Amino acid sequence: MDAAQDILRDEGVLAVTHASVSARTGISRSTLYRHWPEIDRMRNDAFKRAATPTSISPQTDGPLRADLTWLLGILMAALNETPWGQIAPQVIAAAATDQEARAVINDFMKERMAFTEAIFTAAEARGELSPDVHVSYLMQMAIAVPYFRKLIAGLPLDREWLETHVDSICRLAKGSAAP
């Protein structure tokens, strides 16, 4: 899997083949075919391996600003500093045309959105959210904006951006307009 992950990161999704992994590892192609008869499964397994963080539980003890800073700080570090951050754009691109890659992304996002939901549920229980706020939109904004900023707009994810993003979400959560 290390070799598939390296090829995925360095050369892209389509470069991960039985032949390329065999050449890099010395493992016979027939052995690779036995474990991954379809190359898409090998590619997706490489992504899943890179995307699976150590086991952590969401921080929900508040306030909302602290919990979001914790969560988005982890996401920011992952996108900026890990192999997964380099591999994610490849898999996201593949998901546009490949159903298995789409399923991997959907499963991945379900897990991440569960953390986000736990944070907003706890904030709601503490009375930190305006009753008329659309929590699902706040959740989507919290998670989608970093991906857009990094992977599409090519803008940096840094501490200043993190603080501004969290401030905007917190203002909206209280029912206040963002600047």
DSSP state of 155: -
pLDDT digits (tens, 9 = 90+) for 17-63: 999 999 999 999 999 999 999 888 888 788 777 776 656 777 788 89
Q: Is the pLDDT of residue 128 over 80?
A: yes
* CA 155 distance to own-chain centroid: 17
CATH class of the structural domain 2-48: mainly alpha
CATH class of the structural domain 55-173: mainly alpha
0.85 surpassed by pTM: no
Distance (Å, whole) CA 8 – CA 44: 10
Beta-carbon contacts of residue 176 (< 8 Å; ≥ 6 apart): none
Closest CA to 92 of 12, 175, 161: 12
CB 77 within 8 A of CB 52: no
Give the N- to C-terminal CA distance of the chain in Å, as an integer: 46
Return the domain boundaries, the chain.
2-48, 55-173
- The per-residue pLDDT of the chain, averaged, comes to 88
Provide the 10 A C-beta neighbour count for residue 10. 12
